Structure 1
Amino acid sequence: MADRRNLFDKVFDLHTVRELPTGQTQLFIGRHLIHEVTSPQAFELLRERGLKVLFPDRTLATVDHIVPTDDQSRPFRDPLAEEMMQAIERNCAEFGITLLNLNDERQGIVHIVGPELGLTQPGITLVCGDSHTSTHGAFGCIALGIGTSQVAQVLATQTLALTRPKVRRIEVNGELRPGVYAKDVILHIIRKLGTQGGVGYAYEYAGDVFDRMSMEERMTVCNMSIEGGARCGYC
């Protein structure tokens, strides 16, 4: 008998560890991306509780949120930015996590680094302490933005307690007029469904318009799923 589950349900079921008494699902996380802004407090939580990072090889760190675009000499002119940089350097060294620092040619925006390095793969679960982690859904994976306490949860257990979203299929067919691009498509969807229309949902983008899009265009669409209130989006 054919498996009629959608991609989200297949991936979610494959990574389910157990159903929790709260009604949430304990979900195994295949890839964890961290950066300098939402990780310092998470590492402090680990220290307070005497915990280690369970699978350091499944976490990758980069610096991108507070890095100056003009003068990157250290220390940074902004003392808070310098403090965050020192924190992620110290934390990654202590907990054995690979850090793509400024002197590493692979360093870059966290949601670009994952695809460029082949870390973002179809069928995996991926999280990052950044709301636009949904960008990675363009590659056919479940990609979720999480908060700082959840970053600590994933570091310590490689799992996440999550209320299972429902899936809303959004199908767009036809030919786009000249001058209409991927961002216009997702903005139109948000206009139609509202900025809260996706609350409690994962958006599944389907139809020949998305089929013809490049990976960069699909990343644009999935990136803005959050602006529509969705938990994540994928093509």
Structure 2
Amino acid sequence: MARNGSRSVPQEQPEPRGRIRVLLVDDHAVVRRGIRAYLEVLDDIQVVAEAGHGLEALERMAAMAAHGELPDVVLIDLLMPKLDGVATTARIMERYPVMRVVVLTSFGEMERVHAALANGAAGYLLKDAEPSEIVAAIRAAACGEVFLDPAVARKLTQEIVSPPKGLGALTSRERDVLALVAQGRSNQEIADELVISERTARTHVSNVLRKLQLASRTQAALVAVSQGLVPPPVA
């Protein structure tokens, strides 16, 4: 499906000509070095650049675009400082709609996987994937195909068929917010405690109420007590 953007998007991705140009984006230099070392022995893949976080990746891509040398595939970690893989993927697809992005993730980052796919990622791999799987994902993405790690795909399918309920639907941060709500904290007090903005705290509270299908902070407090997140009030 074509995405809106400044450049036209072909209906089908053609078979890549020559070597597949890859940009590696990961905040751990040793990870980038290991992946590069494996890919550099292949005849059809070339690592053209590296970046340690999303902002650096976007800067490198802008410089490469100015010379008509954009990579074919971006292999990107989801959890990075300054600009994470989810936000970076969204910006890449907005600026370069024909780009193919493959994300690296941990099994516990399913919420980020959902977001990355929604932002246009063409595939995802677990960080402990075999080198051969990374190569397969890059080749598939370059040809316009989608590569999904089987373990993550099963988890996503399970969540679609049987979405988590109750506290299981909350992220760890949302559980922290729920506990603070149960303690009677205001949005500003929650923000101060978690070192986030008041607006972000308010968003978290709204998400907690929505996911738990509750109408008020009082109901949220009762749920937190009943589930053992916080001790019951002393009589």
Instruction: Mark yes or no: TM-score above 0.5.
Output: no
> Larger strand proportion, structure 1 or 2?
1
TM-score by length of 1: 0.32
Higher relative contact order (CA 8 A, sep 6+): 1
Instruction: Find the structure with the greater CA-based Rg.
Output: 2
TM-score, length basis structure 2: 0.32
